[in-house]
Amino acid sequence: MIYKNIICPVCGATCDDIQVEFGDGKIEARNACKMGNAKFQEIFSSHRLKQPLVKVDGKLTPAAWDEALEKTADILVSAKRPLLFMGSETSCEAHEVGLKIGEYLGALVDSNSTVCHGPTAMGIQEAGKVDVQPKARRKIGRSHYLLGTNPLESMPRQMSRYGVFPGVTGPNVDVLTE
Ligand code: SF4
């Protein structure tokens, strides 16, 4: 089965043209770069936890989902000062659920943004930012200047999707890393 127009959750390019095909215990992620493809391959990774584990006598033991959810709820409602730390590369829907749980518990809710792009978002909220979506940037920009970044490493499809390769009418890209 092939799923089309899947959004890659890895980097800020948010490529939305990924085609994911499942079959025989393997997955193919067409259009994704190496980083994006690695993320999709984790669906069949041997280190992925495929069922919940509950501690019994100090040892992690496979459990049914209902049992694990019950146990998790018990732990959360009995916590004196709960802190929910929500990971990056997680869907907005999952974050929304986490925020609702945090509100219900009166918990502190934190996420990877504290050590990553959080200060950027706070600066944008306070001072504003002029920007356009990458696709629009490709259409209207004559030249792109990327400051303090190395998109070849951190956003591999920048060149092929938004930069110099999309077509002869595409913009030029200059990378200024200093
Ligand atoms: S550039 Fe690669 S890692 Fe980034 S969103 Fe696109 S496919 Fe994913």
Domain residues for the domain of 120 are 81-129
pLDDT in tens, 100-147: 999 999 999 998 888 887 888 888 899 998 877 766 766 776 677 777
Two structure tokens written together for 22: 């499942």
pLDDT at 112: 82
> H-type helices in the chain, by residue range?
34-41, 65-78, 92-105, 118-127, 134-140, 151-154
- Residues 116 and 149 reside in one and the same domain: no
Closest by CA to 150, choosing from 115, 174, 121, is 174
pLDDT in tens, 50-92: 899 999 999 999 999 999 999 999 999 999 999 999 887 778 8
Rounded Cα–Cα distance for residues 149 and 156 (Å) = 12
- Residues 86 and 125 reside in one and the same domain: yes
The set of protein residues with a Cβ atom below 6 angstroms from ligand 1 is 8, 10-11, 13-15, 32-33, 35-36, 155-157
- Residues 135 and 125 reside in one and the same domain: no
Residue to probe by mutation, ligand 1, list 35, 88, 154, most atoms within 8 Å of CB: 35
How many structural domains comprise the chain? Answer: 4
Cα-Cα-Cα-Cα torsion 164, 138, 125, 155, nearest 10 degrees, comes to: -40
Two structure tokens written together for 157: 């499809």
pLDDT at 96: 94
| pLDDT of 37 above 50 | yes
User: 3-class DSSP state for residue 162?
Assistant: helix
- Residues 73 and 87 reside in one and the same domain: no
Residue to probe by mutation, ligand 1, list 20, 41, 42, 155, most atoms within 8 Å of CB: 155
- Residues 71 and 40 reside in one and the same domain: no
